[in-house]
Amino acid sequence: MNQTVEQWDFPQRDIQIGISQCLLGDKVRFDGGHKQSRFCTDTLGQFVNFVPVCPEMGTGMGTPREAIRLVDREELGVRVEGNRTGDDYTEALTQFSERAVERLPHLGGYILLGKSPSCGMERVKVYRTNGHLSDVRRSGVFAEKLLERYPSLPVEEVGRLNDPILRESFLTRVFAYSTWQQIQQEGMTPGKLIEFHTQYKPILMAHNQQGYRDLGAWLAGVDKENIEQKAEQYLPKFMAILKQPASRKNHTNVLMHMQGYLKRFLASRERRLLSQTIDQYRTGALPLIAPLVLMRHLFQVHGCDYSGNYRYLFPYPEPLAINEQP
Ligand code: SF4
């Protein structure tokens, strides 16, 4: 059966995204300020529900408060200490973080404020006891617990969402992960698992062709007996492929493959235009959005009987593709 683009509209606000609370404009920072991200509040917020967490407020530190940092105390490990007083907040922050992440299994993604000793995803500075910077970089305390507890969850720092490729990767993973969660809630079956894999075929291929083939081969033995185990093992493999950067060469292959589906519907002028646009993308003369927009238009006009094409052309709601700064 042909599917129209409208059938693939994402249900608005069903997706729950965890977020460092200061990014929503709440004045929870140590200095009484916030770090509002307009991309999050004004754009992404139209399509998802945010679940705000401020780990430092959660431990009862209040605002304004003393700034904290990570300090390598060697035999005592890395501690969280007040910049001025040297007060040790490690236990309070760790215990809050462990409790908080247990309450978040419904999330479809997480956006963190970078550099924070609580929320930073990676490369957070660690100091030596003499006050100098150490060579070690690590995650903030809350972020570490989050990543440990949900290794497949799409997690990104807000600053990295400035990069269009990282933003696209994050959004694609969020909407794929949330789709997966919805299927899991409704009850996974071998048929639904295969259908999910088929829908994401072009996207997987754009990220890693061999990875897609290997995952498909691994999936071949799925049945009613092993579905629970297979589904549990499938998700981390699937998310690991999506985390790899998609290449121009792979996108070109996918576009040419999809062109094959469309060919029989197109007039010769349309066919030529599509071939030229894909080729200009292949050589770097055009960005990916050019063949995508043209294909979206052609699929909208002519329809298509393969759902994977729609997932590739519309991996997340279209307004989110607009290049706004977080
Ligand atoms: S602890 Fe996290 S949410 Fe709270 S102010 Fe710091 S970065 Fe923002």
Q: With contact defined as beta carbons under 8 Å apart, do 67 and 83 qualify?
A: yes
Sign of CA dihedral 62, 63, 65, 71: positive
Shortest-distance atom of ligand 1 to CA 22:
8
Q: Whose alpha carbon is nearest atom 4 of ligand 1?
A: 54
Spell out the per-residue pLDDT of the chain, length 326, in tens.
334 444 445 544 489 999 999 999 999 999 999 999 999 999 999 999 999 999 999 999 999 999 999 999 998 999 999 999 999 999 999 999 999 999 999 999 999 999 999 999 999 999 999 999 999 999 999 999 999 999 999 999 999 999 888 898 999 999 999 999 999 999 999 999 999 999 999 999 999 999 999 999 999 989 999 999 999 999 999 999 999 988 999 999 999 999 998 888 899 999 999 999 999 999 999 988 899 989 988 888 887 666 677 889 888 887 786 544 43
Tens of pLDDT, residue by residue over 170-219, are: 999 999 999 999 999 999 999 999 999 999 999 999 999 999 999 999 99
First and final C-alpha spacing in the chain: 39
The Cα 44–Cα 52 span in angstroms is 14
Residue of 167, 28, 59 lying closest to 111 (CA atoms): 167
CA-29 nearest atom, ligand 1: 5
Question: Residue 137 corresponds to which tokens in the numbers above?
Answer: 């970089």
Signed CA dihedral, 51, 54, 60, 65: sign only: negative
Q: Where are the domains of the chain?
A: 15-162, 163-326
Query: Which atom of ligand 1 is least distant from the CA of 120?
Result: 7
CA–CA distance from 169 to each of 77, 180, 192, 201, 290 (Å)? 34, 16, 24, 15, 18
29 Cα–ligand 1 center, Å = 6
**pTM recorded for the entire structure:** 0.90
Instruction: Identify the residues whose C-beta falls under 6 Å from ligand 1.
Output: 20-22, 28-29, 54-57, 113, 116, 118-119
Cβ(23)–Cβ(187) below 8 Å: no
The residue whose two tokens read 């995508």 is: 292
Centroid of ligand 1 to alpha carbon of 34 (angstroms): 9
Question: 243 alpha carbon to ligand 1 midpoint, in Å?
Answer: 25
